[in-house]
């Protein structure tokens, strides 16, 4: 490997919105995530909608508009 071209490799602290924290290795010392294995619906088995950026709300709004325009 060539010297001086690779980023520094640190032990990183990862913090989830649910409050879970764990350590890993990354190029940044601190990471913040929206979902982790403790709160992700696939791993927990809970059926809930994970809404990132209001996508679900926009979809529901479009569906309501189409239903009212069709009648």
Q: pLDDT tens digits, residue range 3-62?
A: 889 888 999 999 998 889 999 999 999 999 888 888 876 666 766 666 666 777 888 889
Domain 1-46 has CATH 4.10.80.400: yes
Domain range summary for the chain, segments of one domain joined by +: 1-46
CA dist 9 and 19 (Å) reads 25
Look up the pTM and report it: 0.52
pLDDT recorded at residue 32: 92
- Measured on CA atoms in the order 39, 44, 48, 53, is the torsion positive or negative? positive
Our measurement of the distance from residue 56's CA atom to the centroid of its chain's CA atoms, rounded to an integer in Å, reads 15
């Amino acid at each position: 490997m060539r010297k001086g071209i690779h980023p520094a490799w640190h032990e990183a602290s990862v913090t989830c919105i649910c409050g879970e924290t764990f350590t890993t290795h990354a190029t940044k010392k601190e990471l913040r995530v929206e979902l982790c294995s403790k709160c992700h619906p696939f791993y927990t088995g809970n059926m809930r909608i994970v809404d990132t950026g209001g996508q679900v709300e926009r979809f529901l709004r479009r569906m309501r508009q189409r239903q009212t325009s069709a009648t």
